[in-house]
Amino acid sequence: MKLIFEKGNTNRGLTLMPECDVPVVNVSAGFERKRELNLPHVSETEISRHYTELTKRTFGVNNGFYPLGSCTMKYNPKINDEIARLPGFSDVHPLQPEHTVQGCLEVYYLADKYLSKITGMDHMDFQPAAGAHGEFTGLKLIWAYHMDRNDTKRDKIIVPDSAHGTNPASAAMAGFTVINVPSTEEGFVDTDALREVVGEDTAGFMLTNPNTIGLFEENILEITSIIHEAGGLNYYDGANLNAIMGVARPGDMGFDVVHLNLHKTFSTPHGGGGPGSGPVGCKEFLAKYLPTPRIVCRDNIYTFEDKSEKSIGRVKDFYGNFLVVVRALTYIMTLGREGLKDASENAVLNANYMMHNLKDTFTIPFGKGRCMHEFVISLEKLKKDKSVSALDFAKTLLDYDIHPPTMYFPLIVHEALMVEPTETETKETLDRAIEIFKEVHNKAYEEPELLHASPTTKPIGRPDEVMAARNPILRANT
Ligand SMILES: *Cc1c(COP(=O)(O)O)cnc(C)c1O
């Protein structure tokens, strides 16, 4: 495919900019453009075709099934975008006087109230721009709490080996030492091992729940009490709240801090590093440490308040990614209490439906009982028998117009494929996906070399994964 700069014709004239009808003023020395502005010389039709062509070279939820575990790539209701596009939300400036943006402040205020109710917390803060950023912020709250009580020995955060990878990373970034606890054979936190590692240096415990093998921690109340009894706080990674929202609340399970990924559960399309929101929620006793300013409402007037001296300070310029919060609030208000519960129940039902239909063909290491919103397949046997890896399998799915599931994660499962169908897929789509998974599995035994060579129908075959991650070429050299 040609670059847009290689299309069009420079001699035809570029009429994008109107004639200048104001006096020309020279900019100060040092700020002048040093070379001609390089713009593509193309017509509107050519631009339109160019971008349409580009969209065909990528794969999103609008193209097909996208069961990327731990990422919740679901179809997001378009009404959320319509609301987020309203000029009163999209044409505002963060430095506008408060009385001109009362509606926007109300959005934050309401989102705080609803999400606090949904999680069983007392407050939510919307500054964090992503899940990992929410983790960092939440851990800083835990740190501030212990420091405030002069309990300065508490520098350890306990993280189970089934946690999301960002958990130990955030704990380390927030200045803690990470202590790992192993999982039992069934895939749950080993409470005996947990009892052994807690102590006077325990600052807190981070739990991804459902964990990364898609299981709800069975002993969750026991786990949170072990930590509380040792003087630590409990952190809930609620990035994937779509497994429990409307059904159970972290606040009722003994958690003090939680983060959510609005760009997963609460319906903002994500991927490619687009704007996200990882609000952090906490119980009342931690409220004074939250980032400032906070939004308060008095006599129906919303204002920013910046008075807590114990606040950990700002974690982001201005107030986070506002339009993501608008979408989340729209989602919550259109679905309502029952709708949110339905969404979770369907997410769990869809995952179980797929898991149970695949378990006779595939090894599903922790698939004995029921899963939550996702499950993990292990292709270790296929790798041994036919040298077909999880990567080969995932690449082959692309030729069937299925986006690969998450690969090689969680780390405790070898040759892992982590499948999350989400609540927005129909039974027909799931049935077709089940058929394709089985077909690819058969093909792997009959003609394994085909899987090594796939995908064959896509614009790109197999890029050098390391180079693509470490040295991505993101722009043409023009
Ligand atoms: C996605 C995810 C995160 C990290 O969220 P980002 O927005 O990518 O930083 C953390 N925990 C879990 C369980 C997740 O699925």
Domain that holds residue 240: 79-334
Q: Are residues 176 and 298 in the same domain?
A: yes
What tokens does 5 get? 């700069």
**Distance from C-alpha of 4 to C-alpha of 6, rounded to nearest angstrom:** 5
Q: Is residue 71 part of a domain?
A: no
**Structure tokens, 22:** 């104001």
Report whether residue 246 contacts ligand 1, using a CB cutoff of 6 Å. no
For residue 421 and ligand 1, the question of a CB distance below 6 A is answered with: no
Query: Among 292, 318, 334, which residue terminates a domain?
Result: 334
Residue 207, helix vs strand vs coil: strand
Last residue of a domain, one of 287, 306, 334: 334
Res 273: pLDDT: 67
Judged by DSSP in three states, 245 sits in coil
Q: Is 474 part of a structural domain of the chain?
A: no
What is the chain's pLDDT, residue by residue, as a tens digit (478 residues)?
Answer: 888 888 888 777 776 678 889 999 888 989 988 888 888 888 889 999 999 999 888 888 889 999 999 888 999 999 999 999 999 999 999 999 999 999 999 999 999 999 999 999 999 999 999 999 999 999 999 999 999 999 999 999 999 988 888 999 999 999 999 999 999 988 899 999 999 999 999 999 999 999 888 889 999 999 999 999 999 999 999 999 999 999 999 999 999 999 999 999 999 888 766 789 999 999 999 999 999 999 999 999 999 999 889 999 999 999 999 999 999 999 999 999 999 999 999 999 999 999 999 999 999 998 677 899 999 999 999 999 999 999 999 999 999 999 999 999 888 899 999 999 999 999 999 999 999 999 999 999 999 999 999 999 998 899 898 998 899 888 877 5
Ligand 1 centroid to Cα of residue 131, in Å, is 5
- For residues 325 and 348, membership in a common domain is answered with no
Atom 4 of ligand 1, nearest CA residue: 131
Residue 210 lies in a domain: yes
- 376 Cα to the center of ligand 1, angstroms: 17
Nearest atom (ligand 1) to Cα of 134: 9
**pLDDT tens by residue, 2-27:** 888 888 887 777 766 788 899 998 88
User: Do 381 and 300 lie in a common domain?
Assistant: no
Dist. CA 365–CA 161, nearest whole Å: 16
For residue 199, what is the domain's CATH number? 3.40.640.10
- Rounded to whole angstroms, the Cα distance separating 124 from 267 reads 18
Minimum CA distance residue for ligand 1 atom 3: 131
For residues 302 and 343, state if they share a domain: no
Residues 95 and 52 in one domain: no
Question: What pLDDT is attached to residue 200?
Answer: 97
Question: Is residue 168 domain-shared with residue 26, that is, in the same domain?
Answer: no
pLDDT of residue 411: 83
User: Is the C-beta atom of 76 inside 6 A of ligand 1?
Assistant: no
150 and 289 in a single domain? The answer is: yes
**Do 340 and 266 contact (CB within 8 A), yes or no?**
no
Number of domains in the chain: 3
Among residues 275, 308, 334, the one where a domain terminates is 334
Atom of ligand 1 nearest to the CA of 132: 9
Residue 310 and residue 188 share a domain: yes
Whether residue 232 lies inside any domain: the answer is: yes
Domain annotation covers residue 190: yes
CB distance 208 to ligand 1 below 6 Å: yes
Cα(71) to centroid(ligand 1), Å: 7
- State whether the beta carbon of 278 lies less than 6 angstroms from ligand 1: yes
Give a yes or no: residue 476 inside a domain. no
Distance 260 CA to ligand 1 centre (A): 9
* Shared-domain flag, residues 175 and 278: yes
Q: How far is the CA of 239 from the centre of ligand 1 (A)?
A: 6
pTM equals 0.91
Is 63 part of a structural domain of the chain? no
The best mutation among 139, 161, 166, 259 to test binding of ligand 1, ranked by most ligand atoms within 8 Å of the C-beta, falls on 166
Please name every residue paired with 160 in a beta bridge, in sequence order, or none if there are none.
181
Atom of ligand 1 nearest to the CA of 270: 7
> CB of 194 within 8 A of CB of 221?
no
Quick check: is 62 in a domain? no
- Residue 370 shares a structural domain with residue 236: no
What's the CA gap between 388 and 370, in Å, rounded? Answer: 28
Looking at the structure, tell me whether residues 264 and 153 fall in a common domain.
yes
Query: Which pLDDT does position 393 carry in this prediction?
Result: 98
Whether the CB of 138 sits within 6 Å of ligand 1: no
Residue corresponding to tokens 């300065």: 152
Q: Assess whether 363 and 424 both reside in one domain.
A: yes
Nearest atom (ligand 1) to Cα of 133: 9
CATH number at residue 365: 3.90.1150.10
* CB of 164 sitting under 6 A from ligand 1: yes
Helix (H) or strand (E) holding 180: strand 177-181
Q: Say what the pLDDT of residue 197 is.
A: 97
- pLDDT for the residue 274: 75
d(CA 166, ligand 1 centre) in Å: 7
Q: Which residues of 421-449 are buried (b: 16+ CB within 10 A; e: fewer)?
A: bbbbbeeebbebbbebbeebbebbeeeee
